[in-house]
C-alpha cells in the first residue's frame, strides 16, 4: 500500500469513528432526555418543593465533576450519566410544578419546551452542515461562563430581577455557543467519548430550557 | 431561606473553581479564529435572539 492509500484508509477510519461517536451521542442524548422527562413527571406527581431543584442540581454537579470523568471510559459511565440526568429531571419537576400553578403555566412550559427543541435542532443542523470547526470559541465560552457564574453569585445576595433576566438571556446565548462548540468537536474528532459528549449537550439543552422558562414566565407577567 | 442561598453560593463557587482549568486550557491552547469564523457564529446567535423575542411575544 503506498502513502496515498495509507492516508486514505486512515482518513476513512477517522470518519467512521467520528460518525460512530456522533450516532452514539445522539442515541444516548435521546435516552437521557426521555429518562429525565420521566423523572420530572415522577417529581411532579410527588409535588416536590422548589428546594428539591437546588439539591438535585448540586448533587448532579458533584457527580458530573467528580464521578463522571473517572467512569466515562467504562460501562459504569452509562449508569452515572443516567443518574445525573435523572437527578436533574427530578429537580426540574419541582420547578415545573411551580410553573404549572401559574395561569399561563402550561403555555409557558410548552413554548419553552418547543423553543428549546427548535434551538437545539437548528444549531446542531447548522454545525453539522456548515462543517466549520467552532473550537476557536472555547476560550470565549469558558470566560463567558465564568462571568455569568460571578453574576449568579452576586445576584444570590442582591436579588435584582433585571440582573436575573440578563443572566438567563446570557445563559441562552452561551449554551447556544456550547452546542456549536460541542457538536463541532465531535465532528472534528476533538471529543471521542460519547458519554462526555452527551453530558455537554444535555447540560446545554437543560440550561436553555430553564432559562427560557424564566424569561417566558417573567415576560408573560406570571413569574 | 439563608441556608439555601449559602448552599447555592457554595455550588457556584465550586463550579468556578473547577471551570478555571478549562478556561485556562482553552484560552492558552485553543485554536485561534480565522477570517469569517466569528461571522459564522454571530449569524446563528442573532437568529436565536430573534427567535427568543418571538417566543416572548407569543406568550405575552
- Partners of A141 on chain B (C-beta within 8 Å) are 26
Determine the distance in angstroms separating the CA of B18 from the nearest CA of chain A, rounded to an integer. 8
* Average pLDDT for chain A: 92
What would the mean pLDDT of B29-38 be, rounded to a whole number? 89
Is the per-residue pLDDT at A126 higher than 80? yes
In angstroms, the CA B18 to CA B23 distance is 9
For residue A45, give Cα distances in angstroms to A94, A96, A103: 10, 11, 19
- Residue B8: phi, psi to the nearest 5? -65, -40
Q: Give the closest residue to B8 by CA, choosing from A75, A102, A152.
A: A152
Is the per-residue pLDDT at A35 higher than 90? yes
Q: Does A99 touch chain B (CB under 8 A)?
A: no
ipTM: 0.92
Contact B37 A136 (CB under 8 A): yes
What value does the CA radius of gyration of chain B take, rounded to a whole number of Å?
19
What would the mean pLDDT of A184-209 be, rounded to a whole number? 95
Q: How far is CA A80 from the centre of its chain?
A: 16
In angstroms, the CA A222 to CA A180 distance is 32
pLDDT reported for residue A57:
93
pLDDT reported for residue A222:
56
Is the per-residue pLDDT at A19 higher than 90? no
Q: Give the closest residue to A90 by CA, choosing from A130, A60, A129.
A: A60
Q: Does B13 touch chain A (CB under 8 A)?
A: yes
Q: Give the closest residue to A134 by CA, choosing from A177, A164, A100, A166.
A: A177
Residue whose C-alpha cell is 438567563: A168
Amino acid at each position: 500500500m503506498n502513502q496515498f492509500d495509507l492516508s486514505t484508509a486512515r482518513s476513512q477510519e477517522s470518519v467512521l469513528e467520528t460518525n460512530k461517536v456522533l450516532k452514539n451521542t445522539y442515541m444516548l442524548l435521546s435516552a437521557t432526555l426521555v429518562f429525565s422527562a420521566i423523572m420530572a413527571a415522577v417529581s411532579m406527581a410527588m409535588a416536590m418543593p422548589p428546594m428539591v431543584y437546588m439539591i438535585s442540581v448540586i448533587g448532579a454537579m458533584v457527580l458530573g465533576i467528580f464521578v463522571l470523568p473517572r467512569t466515562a471510559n467504562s460501562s459504569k459511565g452509562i449508569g452515572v450519566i443516567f443518574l445525573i440526568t435523572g437527578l436533574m429531571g427530578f429537580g426540574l419537576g419541582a420547578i415545573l410544578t411551580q410553573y404549572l400553578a401559574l395561569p399561563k403555566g402550561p403555555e409557558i412550559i410548552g413554548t419553552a419546551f418547543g423553543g428549546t427543541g427548535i434551538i437545539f435542532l437548528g444549531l446542531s443542523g447548522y454545525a453539522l452542515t456548515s462543517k466549520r470547526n467552532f473550537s476557536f470559541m472555547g476560550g470565549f465560552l469558558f470566560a463567558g461562563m465564568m462571568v455569568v457564574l460571578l453574576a449568579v453569585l452576586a445576584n444570590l445576595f442582591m436579588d435584582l430581577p433585571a440582573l436575573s433576566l440578563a443572566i438567563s438571556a446570557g445563559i441562552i446565548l452561551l449554551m447556544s455557543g456550547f452546542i456549536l462548540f460541542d457538536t463541532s468537536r465531535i465532528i472534528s474528532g476533538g471529543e471521542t467519548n460519547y458519554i462526555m459528549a452527551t453530558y455537554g449537550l444535555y447540560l446545554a439543552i437543560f440550561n436553555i430550557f430553564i432559562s427560557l422558562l424564566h424569561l417566558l414566565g417573567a415576560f408573560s407577567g406570571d413569574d | 431561606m439563608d441556608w439555601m442561598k449559602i448552599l447555592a453560593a457554595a455550588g457556584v463557587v465550586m463550579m468556578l473553581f473547577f471551570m478555571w482549568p478549562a478556561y485556562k486550557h482553552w484560552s492558552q491552547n485553543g485554536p485561534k479564529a480565522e477570517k469569517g469564523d466569528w461571522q459564522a457564529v454571530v449569524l446563528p446567535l442573532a437568529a436565536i435572539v430573534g427567535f427568543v423575542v418571538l417566543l416572548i411575544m407569543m406568550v405575552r
